[in-house]
Amino acid sequence: MKIGVPKEIKPQENRIGLTPDSVKVLISNGHQVLVENNSGFEAGFYNDQYKSVGAKIIDKAEDIFNDADIIVKVKEPLSNEVNMIKENQIVFTYLHLAAAKELTEGLIKSKSVCIAYETVTDNTGRLPLLAPMSAVAGRMSIQAGAHSLEKNQKGRGLLLGGAPGVDPANVVILGGGVVGENAALIATGMKANVHIVDKSVERLEQLQKIFGDKIIPQHSDKIDLEKLVSDCDLLIGGVLIPGAEAPKLVTKDMIKKMKRGSVIVDVAIDQGGCVETSKPTTHANPTYIVDDVVHYCVANMPGGVPRTSTLALNKATIPFLSRLANDGYKKALLEDHNFLAGLNVHRGNVTHKAVADSFGHKFVTPQEAIS
């Protein structure tokens, strides 16, 4: 098969879909790989490295979309990319469709085969292709939040870990999944007071075993969320419902009661955000203020550390991509129900229930769509 890797065109998105090592794996299996000129440059992967393992460097994205059987990206296709996607072409990338009506409609119209990294599962119900970027985003959320708390960033003027004789900042993490755990790892390392809110008692017990008395676990059904939010200095939104739009847990009224200069980092923004006042921002202009509260809502946070992120993502994706290329998508998906869970759109049909429900489309099961 021909596998195409176009340059990411989302603002300040410097990751790339495949590393040279991943390209080498695919070419060793008899496939051709087309890489857009200098698409890996900002992540530290250069044309010569791709050419040395057998990739062909292509000057224009249009030529890649025209020629490739599989398009491998990192972020969701933007409108001009959607217009280049061909019927029956396989698109393998993050999609986050439940919060993206226009993109969903465009992919339906294209009659392509769209497999979303973020809804592929494993036998434990976890999300193995989302987890690497969730880990990066979780760790970055505390770095971003700590920076945003500085006075010159319009924050409260707090050092996250305090100082000798001075109390540390209060951090509230909504969601105890991969984002929450990794946010807690950095926040506890910086000696902040860390509260983790989750609806699963079992998960909170796991986190208590990991972090001991460095965190305060809070069950979502047994807390006054409004008070917890109003008392915090840094709020991390790490809530996830796989494939669906994030629930709005923090309301406008709660924001009004937060302290002046406190900070929200809404990691869930690529699924619509879990804070009512959240809206997507970019690395170039990452923050805005609502009711004296700093909001950091960069929708592609891991794009700020593109080399780390690309390497981490490829370790997870290359086994799945190899199966797609080696076996064809029908065999690869039908033989693995976890991989099949990644199929969101298939030749004009919506094959992920949460996406179908979000926009009132008929849901067609992946098995039915492919068969």
Instruction: Look at the chain and count its residues.
Output: 371
d(CA 250, CA 167): 25
Tell me which of 96, 195, 295, 346 is the catalytic residue.
96
Q: Residue 236: what are its φ and ψ, rounded to 5°?
A: -110, 120
Tell me, yes or no, if 270 is annotated catalytic.
yes
Q: Residue 182: what are its φ and ψ, rounded to 5°?
A: -75, -35
Tell me, yes or no, if 96 is annotated catalytic.
yes
Nearest residue to 168 via CA among 132, 195, 197: 195
Which residues neighbour 124 within 8 Å (Cβ) at sequence distance 6 or greater?
A: none
Nearest residue to 197 via CA among 169, 233, 173: 173
Buried b (16+ CB within 10 A) or exposed e, 316-327: bbbebbbbbbee
SS3 50: helix
Q: How many CB atoms lie within 10 A of CB 189?
A: 12
Tell me which of 69, 198, 233, 270 is the catalytic residue.
270
d(CA 316, CA 323): 13
Tell me the CA end-to-end span of the chain in Å, nearest whole number.
22
The one-letter code for the residue type at 177 is: G
Distance of CA 345 to the CA centre of its chain: 19
Distance of CA 352 to the CA centre of its chain: 17
Which residues neighbour 109 within 8 Å (Cβ) at sequence distance 6 or greater?
A: 348
Give the residue numbers annotated as catalytic, written as ranges: 96, 270
